Structure 1
Amino acid sequence: MFVDSHCHLDFPEYANQVPTLLERMKAARVTHAMCISVDMPDFPNVLALAEAYENLFATVGTHPDYEDTPEPTEDQLVELANHPKILAIGETGLDYYRIGDRTYAQMEWQRERFRTHIRAAKRANKPLIIHTRSASEDTIRILKEEGANQVAGVMHCFTETWDVAQAAMELGFYISFSGIVTFKNAKELQETCKKVPLDRMLIETDAPFLAPIPHRGKTNEPAWVSHVGEFIANLRGISVEEVAQATTHNFKTLFKAPI
């Protein structure tokens, strides 16, 4: 019924717990989940989960927040993406939130990494998983400059404005809502969620982070993406089934997922 389009089941919070998590997914009618890569050293663990469980998929990429880590090359990303369980490139993007006392020019390494991922995605013909925080203008600009519309992708854990959502959708990207949309102080995001067409929407947990209400503050898990879907249905005044069908169809369409 539901698909969690973004989670991190290889993280230490879930050590030896994956079979239990999958059982809870089943009980919550969450049929599949995408395990997201954040750096190259840990990528084998992400891929291993996808290979071990039929209803898990994976991505390959290096998160923009991971500065002191081996830099992926375009060729490396393309080669690793050539695996039937790897459905996307990322997560990648820009994150200026913790820029600190560094200058804009000193963040060029992050923009170059982003461009590498986009170019790899085009060569591999795989969509992109985009992370953007305090950097939406540069994120959209680089997506345009690099021709990311050729493969499109998803703006994951979306917290930006409606204008940013529109700009992303014009490039063919989907907008993914996490547990943040259920938070009481997320009024602006909720208004954006009302406007995003159902055929451009995904849902996710970003587990182990950002557990939705009523579990806020706990370690998140894929089963709880159902709460995100239920909240959006109530927010938009439509049935839960309609949200579930649309977001699952969108996941299958965007990622060419065998589900």
Structure 2
Amino acid sequence: MGIIDTHAHVTYKDLVGRIDEIVTNALSHNVTKILCVCCTKEEALKAIEIANQYDIFDCAFGYHPEDVDRLEDHDLSELRSILTDPHMIALGEIGLDYHYTKENKEAQKDLFIRQIQLANELDLPILIHMRDATLDTLEILKQYPCRGIMHCFSGSLETAKICVKLGYYISFAGPLTFKNAKDAPQVCEWVPLDRIFVETDSPFLTPHPFRGKQNEPAYTHITFEKVCEIKQIDAETLMKQMEENYYTLFKKAKRNESN
């Protein structure tokens, strides 16, 4: 039994050359499972290669909303094909992001919906990216039911309650540990244990006190310990519950023999 990082971009250019070190560092901090999240075909194929080498990795692949303008129909066909690999246990990260531009909102929505429909066809959960687009995201999730995780959740308590009611899990990343964290601790305190996860979003959002340095899965333990502190529960209880959540949500995931 160990800590699970449910969202790490280890095939991203800043981390892919350090896989051996990343695995060693993760295991030294009792991080025993890492969900490698990919946003391109090249990353996805590399993730499958890595997962064949290390049991610690599961994989996910989906098209990020910021990439919508470069995608063509054949990209969705390739997505479908790659997701049939046994190491691919989720579709994501997908969603809506209006932070930098709102000019392609309709294209983002269409891509989001098409990927949700694909996830349902393949019986896969989704990993949801929601940035400055709460109302539209929730509206789509209500219209197109699925199951999955609200990745790196930074919304309000009200939004969290809606997401949980819709059947989604809430995942917390490094910002939960930031000294200026506002809504996150309150949301974390409320989220039911059977709906909670932690993640790094490596190489981004490094938790305090390493903020500003490159993030990696080993740092999952910091956010995990913060959740224990906020919810006033012991590490073993939370670890056991998060592991149960993981294998309940991700039907294709296989438990490591060492767990």
Fold similarity call, TM over 0.5: yes
Give the superposition deviation at 1:76.
3.7
Q: What pairs with 1:116-127 in structure 2 (closer than 5 Å)? A: 116-127=114-125
- In the superposition, the TM-score normalised over structure 1's length comes to 0.92
Count of aligned pairs between the two proteins: 252
Q: What is residue 189 of structure 2 aligned with on the other side?
A: 194
Question: Does the aligned pair in 2 maintain the 1:77–1:117 contact within 8 Å?
Answer: no
Q: What pairs with 1:236-251 in structure 2 (closer than 5 Å)? A: 236-251=231-246
Amino acid of the structure 2 residue aligned with 1:153: G
Amino acid of the structure 2 residue aligned with 1:127: P
Give the superposition deviation at 1:25.
0.9
Question: What secondary structure sits across from 1:202 in the alignment?
Answer: strand
Hey, what's the Cα distance between the residues in 2 that align with 1:198 and 1:238?
A: 10
Hey, what's the Cα distance between the residues in 2 that align with 1:39 and 1:110?
A: 16
Tell me which moved more, 125-134 or 11-20.
Answer: 11-20
Question: What secondary structure sits across from 1:93 in the alignment?
Answer: strand
Give the superposition deviation at 1:241.
1.8
Cα RMSD over matched residues?
Answer: 1.5
Q: What is residue 230 of structure 2 aligned with on the other side?
A: 235
Hey, what's the Cα distance between the residues in 2 that align with 1:79 and 1:155?
A: 25
Hey, what's the Cα distance between the residues in 1 that align with 2:70 and 2:51?
A: 23
Give the superposition deviation at 1:232.
0.9
- In the superposition, the TM-score normalised over structure 2's length comes to 0.92
Tell me which moved more, 200-209 or 33-42.
Answer: 33-42
Q: List gaps (5 residues or longer) in structure 1.
A: none
Question: What secondary structure sits across from 2:70 in the alignment?
Answer: coil
Hey, what's the Cα distance between the residues in 1 that align with 2:76 and 2:16?
A: 31
Question: What secondary structure sits across from 1:110 in the alignment?
Answer: helix
Question: What secondary structure sits across from 1:185 in the alignment?
Answer: coil
Q: What is residue 201 of structure 2 aligned with on the other side?
A: 206
Q: What is residue 89 of structure 1 aligned with on the other side?
A: 91
Question: What secondary structure sits across from 2:137 in the alignment?
Answer: helix
- Residue in structure 1 matching 2:254, options 242, 254, 258: 258
Amino acid of the structure 1 residue aligned with 2:232: G
Q: List gaps (5 residues or longer) in structure 2.
A: none
Hey, what's the Cα distance between the residues in 2 that align with 1:196 and 1:161?
A: 12
Give the superposition deviation at 1:92.
0.2
Hey, what's the Cα distance between the residues in 2 that align with 1:147 and 1:17?
A: 38
Q: What is residue 7 of structure 1 aligned with on the other side?
A: 8
Give the superposition deviation at 1:162.
1.2
Hey, what's the Cα distance between the residues in 2 that align with 1:69 and 1:8?
A: 20
Question: What secondary structure sits across from 1:13 in the alignment?
Answer: coil
- Residue in structure 2 matching 1:131, options 97, 106, 129: 129
Give the superposition deviation at 1:212.
0.8
Question: Does the aligned pair in 1 maintain the 2:68–2:111 contact within 8 Å?
Answer: no
Question: Does the aligned pair in 2 maintain the 1:40–1:61 contact within 8 Å?
Answer: no
Hey, what's the Cα distance between the residues in 2 that align with 1:111 and 1:212?
A: 31
Hey, what's the Cα distance between the residues in 2 that align with 1:15 and 1:91?
A: 18
Shift in alpha-carbon separation, 1:164–1:71, aligned structure 2, 3 A: farther
Give the superposition deviation at 1:54.
1.4
Hey, what's the Cα distance between the residues in 2 that align with 1:146 and 1:126?
A: 14
Q: What is residue 182 of structure 1 aligned with on the other side?
A: 177
Give the superposition deviation at 1:68.
4.4
| % identical aligned pairs | 34
Question: Does the aligned pair in 2 maintain the 1:40–1:62 contact within 8 Å?
Answer: no
Question: Does the aligned pair in 2 maintain the 1:39–1:66 contact within 8 Å?
Answer: no
